Amino acid sequence: MDLHIDPIKARIMIGKMVLVGITRRDRSDNVLGLEQYFGIVLRVNLDEGLVISRGDTGEEMSLPPMLERYEEAEKGEYQLKTTGFVVKDPDYLATWTVYPPVNH
């Protein structure tokens, strides 16, 4: 698989706010948990991925560097289901579904 980051989109995303939703599922597709957070994009590269500074904790988080998966968000208020916190006017939305690793 040839990994490539669009340098123009990466540069545009620096300093922008991303709202992230992660759904964790088991192998039977049952939901095990939901995580939502937001943060400002600090840097984007193949080694670290898309790195944000979380808006609630300041912790740096690495997200997958597949920039095509980050959709421009519509203006408005987004209430996090997990905390009730309201995020106003994020620049991008990203959702991910995580499954346990396959044992061979």
Band the pLDDT of 104: cuts 50, 70, 90. Answer: low
How many angstroms separate the Cα of 91 from the Cα of each of 20, 25, 72, 101?
Answer: 11, 27, 6, 31
pTM of the model: 0.87
How far is the CA of 29 from the CAs of 24, 32, 81, 97, in angstroms?
Answer: 9, 9, 20, 10
> What's the pLDDT at 21?
95
d(CA 67, CA 94): 9
Q: List C-alpha distances in Å: 55 to 31, 62, 80.
A: 25, 14, 13
**85 has pLDDT over 50:** yes
Output the pLDDT for position 1.
Answer: 44
